């Protein structure tokens, strides 16, 4: 069976709320998939992200559903 996953990427910004993006992907049994995030931001946002000390980006993945027939 394949899985449906929810991917949440978040970039911290110093003094502002984080920039957060969400995508959903269907991953077949035995497969893998790259998921890219692109968001247009201004130079002010870039400065705030670069001002964060330590990890400025996080990614969380959750399995939300399954599909297909059981394997095995």
**Domain extents in the chain:** 2-67
Mean per-residue pLDDT for 25-47? 95
Query: What span, in angstroms and rounded, lies between the C-alpha atoms of 50 and 46?
Result: 6
Average pLDDT over residues 29-50: 95
Both structure tokens of 44: 């002010």
Residue 11 tokens, joined: 């970039």
Would you say 4 and 63 are in contact if contact means Cβ atoms under 8 Å apart? Answer: yes
Tens-digit pLDDT profile for residues 56-69: 899 999 999 999 98
State the Cα–Cα distance between residues 63 and 49, nearest whole angstrom. 28
Say if residues 18 and 12 touch (Cβ distance below 8 Å).
yes
Q: pLDDT at position 70, please?
A: 86
What residue spans of the chain are helical by DSSP H? 43-50
Which whole number is the average pLDDT over 1-12?
A: 97
């Amino acid at each position: 069976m394949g899985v449906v996953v929810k991917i949440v990427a978040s970039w911290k910004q110093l003094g502002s709320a984080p920039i957060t993006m969400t995508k959903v992907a269907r991953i077949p049994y035995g497969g893998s998939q790259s998921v890219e995030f692109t968001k247009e931001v201004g130079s002010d946002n870039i400065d705030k992200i670069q001002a964060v000390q330590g990890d400025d980006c996080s990614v969380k993945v959750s399995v939300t559903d399954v599909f297909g027939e059981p394997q095995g």
